[in-house]
């Protein structure tokens, strides 16, 4: 079930949502995004593909069902392209790129991009009205199947094809950039970890010889 998204300013919002924005963003980046890839014991390519598929789902207007999308892609990849297998946990973790803080600006970017791509220059509206309407939709109390309807059919009904069309280039570019960045990060982190281990072994060897 996709939980409703309370307003961070609401008195009923969890304490974690009433923290300063910078604190919440830092927590999300460190603990939800970086920690899963840096703690992974798998090869860098395997983990980086998890980032790729996670972002591929995250950068589409499907909030609430993105983990299911990643799960579906993981099952298809394992069945038909085992060489592309990826870290499912990392993939699900990186769907949090679109969350209660980032969804309104990211989806507005999708909508504007789609309208520009489709030549709908006269339909480009303001962010404030869009954000308010989207927040109202996502704060609804829904069960699992109702959330599936809201996060797919209803988003399409309200904002039409442009939001979905506009997400395509961002999903492609963002997922590939995330793959390259995370691959480089894991390789550098692995090199530093191996260097530290080698220094510790050398220190123990020298201590044993003395």
Q: Is residue 116 part of a domain?
A: yes
What is the domain extent for residue 133? 15-209
Q: Is residue 147 part of a domain?
A: yes
Q: Is residue 78 part of a domain?
A: yes
Number of folded domains that form the chain: 1
User: Distance between CA atoms of 135 and 7, rounded to whole angstroms?
Assistant: 8
pTM: 0.75
Backbone phi, then psi, for 60, in 5-degree steps?
A: -135, 155
Tokens encoding 39? 């703690």
Q: Is residue 27 part of a domain?
A: yes
Which DSSP category does 1 fall into?
-
Q: Is residue 44 part of a domain?
A: yes
Q: Is residue 9 part of a domain?
A: no
Please tell me the total number of residues recorded for the chain in this structure: 210
User: Distance between CA atoms of 138 and 128, rounded to whole angstroms?
Assistant: 15
Buried b (16+ CB within 10 A) or exposed e, 174-194: bbeebbeebbebbeeeeeeee
Per-residue pLDDT of the chain (210 residues; tens, 9 = 90+): 334 444 444 444 445 445 665 676 676 677 678 888 888 888 899 999 999 999 999 999 887 788 999 999 999 999 999 999 999 999 999 998 988 788 889 998 999 999 889 887 776 667 777 777 777 666 666 565 566 666 666 677 777 788 899 999 999 999 999 999 999 998 888 777 777 767 777 677 677 776
- Cα 24 versus chain centre, distance: 15
């Amino acid at each position: 079930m996709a939980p409703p998204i309370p307003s961070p300013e609401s008195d009923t919002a969890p304490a974690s949502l009433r923290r300063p924005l910078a604190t919440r963003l830092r927590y999300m980046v460190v603990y939800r995004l970086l920690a899963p890839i840096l703690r992974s014991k798998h090869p860098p390519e395997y983990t980086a593909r998890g980032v790729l598929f996670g972002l591929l789902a995250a950068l589409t207007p499907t909030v609430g069902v993105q983990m299911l999308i990643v799960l579906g892609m993981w099952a298809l990849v394992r069945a038909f392209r085992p060489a592309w297998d990826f870290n499912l946990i990392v993939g699900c973790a990186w769907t949090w790129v679109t969350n209660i803080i980032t969804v309104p600006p990211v989806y507005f970017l999708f909508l504007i991009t789609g309208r520009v791509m489709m030549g709908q220059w006269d339909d480009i509206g303001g962010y404030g009205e869009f954000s308010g309407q989207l927040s109202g939709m996502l704060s609804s109390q829904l069960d699992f199947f109702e959330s599936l309807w809201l996060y797919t059919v209803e988003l399409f009904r309200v904002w039409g094809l442009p939001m979905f069309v506009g997400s395509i280039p961002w999903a492609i570019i963002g997922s590939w950039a995330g793959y390259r960045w995370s691959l480089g990060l894991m390789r550098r982190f692995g090199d530093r970890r191996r260097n530290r281990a080698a220094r510790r072994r050398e220190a123990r060897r020298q201590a044993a010889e003395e």
